[in-house]
């Protein structure tokens, strides 16, 4: 077996199950699960109708490159959303969701013949770390703390590490913090890429969950700075934007030379998107009405729950995404989450489970991630319980 499998860390939800094992929650309260970032709003009918209406496509092998119509739909959306012009034939590649694409992209990019480093934010989406380890690379974690507006502090990376870096993964809007990189942040990262020659993978799967100001994307930043897409690939998905996590559909876009090599990898990887899913994806990328309604539903949740948490937890509205990154009144976020589950029957994710010890500490320690994915009434009820639990036990 691949010995690098032994380097993988337990997934956060595996750790959460172990944390809650044997716990006895208050049976008089209905359980509310706010730990998993899985959209719960209904999948729009225009997607399901397109999917069902094209089931005859199951009789044909799909091309790894996807159809011309799908790539053009993706490029059209990118133009409307970011004002960038993409060559649909060379700069767009459909993928089976951003998770699959991020993992396989790292395998394709990393040169195993060199002592490779893959840099990621900390806290982070654990696929970044696992992909780096299984590519034979060394992960390097850049802490995202309140002191740096929850964005990566690139000054924490030493010269020797930069010299070994082959890939930098960024997530904007961030998971779990919801922080968004601005144009100056991108300018700094592009300058580092130009200096050291690393590829940038920009994970933008939360880009459409915002509160009126659309987050800046990596390709958009490159365009505004008057540069091309060299060494830059963005990743996006329909999972959060269109409430279709089970569709497993997204696309990557950017540097044509990199995507040409990535397509070669994917041809052998066996990751072509089925024709019915392609049809549903075309319908989704072409419609914004359902996206606006989805955004309004999340806005209503944030408007309802944030006032309830005032004075109980240290938390504010994120720049984007559907998470609250809340500082709890104790350093042991895991103990806080277990006690909350037992007393209030609400599940949240300890922040330390989403981060690694780096540069003198774990930047997730003392935080919890609250995913506002449940219906509004459940989110409101759970927030009442969290606030009451905190005041009764820590104030």
Count the neighbouring beta carbons within 10 Å of the beta carbon of residue 246: 11
Q: Residue written as tokens 């990621």?
A: 120
Instruction: Answer whether 358's CB lies under 8 Å from 143's CB.
Output: yes
- Which residues contact residue 85 at a Cβ distance below 8 angstroms, ignoring those fewer than 6 apart? 75, 79
Instruction: Give the whole-angstrom CA distance, residue 135 versus residue 38.
Output: 27
pLDDT (tens digit, 0 to 9) for every residue of the chain, 395 residues total?
999 999 999 999 999 999 999 999 999 999 999 999 999 999 999 999 999 999 999 999 999 999 999 999 999 999 999 999 999 999 999 999 999 999 999 999 999 999 999 999 999 999 999 999 999 999 999 999 999 999 999 999 999 999 999 999 999 999 999 999 999 999 999 999 999 999 999 999 999 999 999 999 999 999 999 999 999 999 999 999 999 999 999 999 999 999 999 999 999 999 999 999 999 999 999 999 999 999 999 999 999 999 999 999 999 999 999 999 999 999 999 999 999 999 999 999 999 999 999 999 999 999 999 999 999 999 999 999 999 999 999 98
Domain annotation for the chain: domains and CATH numbers: 3-42+290-394 (3.90.1150.10), 56-287 (3.40.640.10)
Cβ neighbourhood burial of 18 (10 Å; 0-12, 13-18, 19+): exposed
The greatest distance separating any two alpha carbons of the chain, rounded to the nearest whole angstrom, comes to 63
Instruction: Give the whole-angstrom CA distance, residue 197 versus residue 184.
Output: 19
Token pair listed for 365: 């320690």
DSSP 19-46: HHTT----TTS--EE-SS----SPPPHH
Measured CA angle at 76 (ends 55, 103), to 5 deg: 70
Q: Which of 68, 65, 116, 60 lies closest to 95 in space, CA to CA?
A: 65
Instruction: Give the whole-angstrom CA distance, residue 168 versus residue 266.
Output: 21
Three-state secondary-structure class, residue 54:
coil
């Amino acid at each position: 077996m691949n010995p690098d499998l032994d380097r993988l860390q337990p997934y956060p939800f595996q750790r959460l199950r172990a944390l809650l094992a044997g716990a006895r929650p208050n049976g008089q309260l209905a359980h509310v699960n706010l730990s998993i970032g899985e959209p719960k709003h209904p999948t729009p009918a225009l997607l399901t109708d397109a999917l069902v209406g094209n089931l005859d496509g199951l009789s044909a092998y799909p091309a790894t490159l996807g159809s011309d119509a799908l790539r053009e739909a993706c490029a059209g959306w990118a133009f409307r959303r970011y004002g960038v012009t993409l060559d649909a034939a060379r700069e767009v590649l459909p993928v089976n969701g951003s998770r699959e694409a991020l993992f396989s992209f790292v395998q394709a990019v990393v040169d195993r013949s060199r002592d490779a480093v893959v840099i990621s934010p900390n806290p982070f989406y654990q696929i970044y770390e696992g992909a780096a380890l299984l590519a034979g690379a060394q992960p390097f974690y850049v802490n995202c703390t309140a002191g740096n507006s929850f964005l990566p502090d690139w000054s924490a990376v030493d010269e020797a590490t930069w010299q070994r870096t082959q890939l930098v993964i960024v997530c904007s809007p961030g998971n779990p913090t919801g922080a968004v990189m601005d144009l100056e942040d991108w300018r700094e990262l592009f300058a580092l890429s130009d200096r050291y020659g690393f590829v940038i993978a920009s994970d933008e799967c939360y880009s459409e969950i915002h509160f009126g100001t659309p987050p800046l994307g990596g390709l958009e930043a490159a365009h505004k700075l008057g540069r091309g897409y060299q060494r830059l690939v963005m990743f996006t998905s329909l999972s959060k934007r269109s409430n279709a996590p089970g569709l497993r559909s997204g696309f990557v876009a950017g540097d044509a030379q990199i995507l040409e090599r990535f397509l070669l990898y994917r041809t052998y990887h066996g990751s072509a998107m089925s024709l019915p899913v392609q049809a549903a994806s075309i319908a989704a990328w072409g419609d914004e009405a359902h996206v606006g309604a989805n955004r309004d539903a999340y806005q209503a949740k944030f408007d309802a729950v944030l006032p309830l948490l005032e004075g109980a937890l240290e938390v504010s509205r994120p720049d984007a995404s559907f998470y609250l990154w809340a500082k709890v009144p104790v350093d042991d976020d895991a103990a806080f989450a277990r006690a909350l589950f037992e007393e209030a029957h609400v599940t949240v994710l300890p922040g330390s489970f989403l981060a690694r010890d780096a540069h003198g500490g774990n930047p997730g320690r003392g935080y919890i991630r609250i995913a506002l994915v449940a219906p509004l009434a459940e989110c409101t009820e759970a927030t009442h319980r969290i606030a009451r639990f905190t005041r009764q036990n820590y104030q």
